[in-house]
Amino acid sequence: MNSGALLVNAAIPLVVWAVAWLTPSLTSPTLPFGVRIPAARADAPVIAEQRKRYRWLVGTAGGVLLALNVGLSTTAHSVWPGVVPALILAVFLAAFHRARVAVAAAKRDEDWYRGLRQGVVTDTSLRTDPEAFPWPWSIPALLIVAATVVTSVVLYPSVPERLAVHFNASGIPDRFATKSVGSAFFPVFVQAGVTATILVLAWFSFRARPELDPARPADSARRHRRFSVRAVISLLVLAACVDLSMLAGAWPIWHADQNLSPVLVMLPILVGLAVVVGVAVRTGQGGSRLPAGSAGAPEENTGVVRRDDDRHWRGAGSLYVNRADPALVVQKRFGFGWTLNFGNPRALLLFALIVGLPLALPLIVR
């Protein structure tokens, strides 16, 4: 295995492990491990203890898996793409679920919401005077797609009759197909589909309902505005990076005498992921790590706490199911970004399109 393949094989699990380790720091202090709690309980000993145990488990198990991955790749030259990231993800989910159960049990047993006034709040200015969608940041992705289309059209007459359509871990082609519009332009179709999907999801997410804090609604609205803009920009940057990786991957398909470079293919994606992770750490989910940004004195606490809505979050707190909520997209309870309301039929349709398009694309092209 060449050094480039080794680098890529080590980099992807490292990114997954880093994101898993950082996850508790990304969400609001009132959502430890996806459990809604009053702000006054954010420093509860059980939360600090579970956060420490979670990081110990993820850090130790992830470190062992990373070392094992590098050792096998360099000595035995054994590579199982996706296996180590999947194992790290499994450790993350198990550790997260364990901490979530412990925090939820303490919340229930000690009745943390007893005597508190729960409520929701909205800021109509977010609808009457919304932030502008950062369309200029989509231009790089669209230009790369356009460049890929032009390149494929220009090169098509000289494309060999036998095209490489799959490469092994070292970048050597090991599967071929007869030249056709479908096989030669398949990277273009995939690139366009991925770009369109990210743009649509970014637009819906940008217009998603804000999660405002009724204790300090004005401050949380300002945080939400900055969070939405920065999060969507990071997604659009990621889209451009993914498109660049696809262009790098398409080049050896169109040139039979060239092998695939794993570094050239994965480096743009890793850069895009680094941008997303950097924005997540800087802003926090929903802008929880951002300052209020008010020029005057801090907003006075209204004494109202966010409504306890844990019953609408299923599994490990990753699935939102609320048929009474008209929202299509809502902010995640952990991690960074948004998720669908699976209790909304329109959200289910959107989910079916997102999942179905990649599955149907090969059949459509064929």
211: its two tokens: 């999660």
Residue percentage of the chain with pLDDT more than 90: 44
Q: Domain ranges for the chain, please list them.
A: 1-113, 128-295+302-366
Q: What is the pLDDT of residue 175?
A: 77
Q: Please tell me the least confidently modeled range out of 2-6, 109-113, 174-178, 291-295.
A: 2-6
Q: Is the pLDDT of residue 152 over 70?
A: yes
Contact present, 122 and 212 (Cβ < 8 Å): yes
* Higher per-residue confidence, 332 vs 7: 332
Contact present, 215 and 259 (Cβ < 8 Å): no
- In 119-216, which ranges are continuous DSSP H helix? 125-128, 139-155, 181-184, 186-206
Which tens digit of pLDDT belongs to each residue from 189-248? 889 888 998 999 999 999 988 889 999 898 999 999 999 999 999 999 999 999 999 998
Q: Please tell me the least confidently modeled range out of 238-242, 257-261, 362-366.
A: 362-366
Q: What is the pLDDT of residue 8?
A: 66
Q: What is the pLDDT of residue 50?
A: 96
Distance set, CA 233 to CA 219, 226, 254, 336 (Å): 22, 11, 32, 13
Residue 196 backbone zone (phi > 0: left; psi -120 to 50: alpha; other: beta): alpha
Q: What is the pLDDT of residue 290?
A: 87
Q: What is the pLDDT of residue 278?
A: 93
Distance set, CA 100 to CA 111, 197, 262 (Å): 16, 32, 38
Q: What is the pLDDT of residue 148?
A: 93
Look over the chain and give the mean of its residue pLDDT values, rounded to a whole number: 86
Mean pLDDT of the 16-37 span: 91
Mean pLDDT of the 135-160 span: 92
Contact present, 286 and 224 (Cβ < 8 Å): yes
Mean pLDDT of the 45-62 span: 95
Q: Radius of gyration of the chain from Cα atoms?
A: 23
Using a cut of 0.75, tell me whether the model's pTM lies above it.
Answer: yes
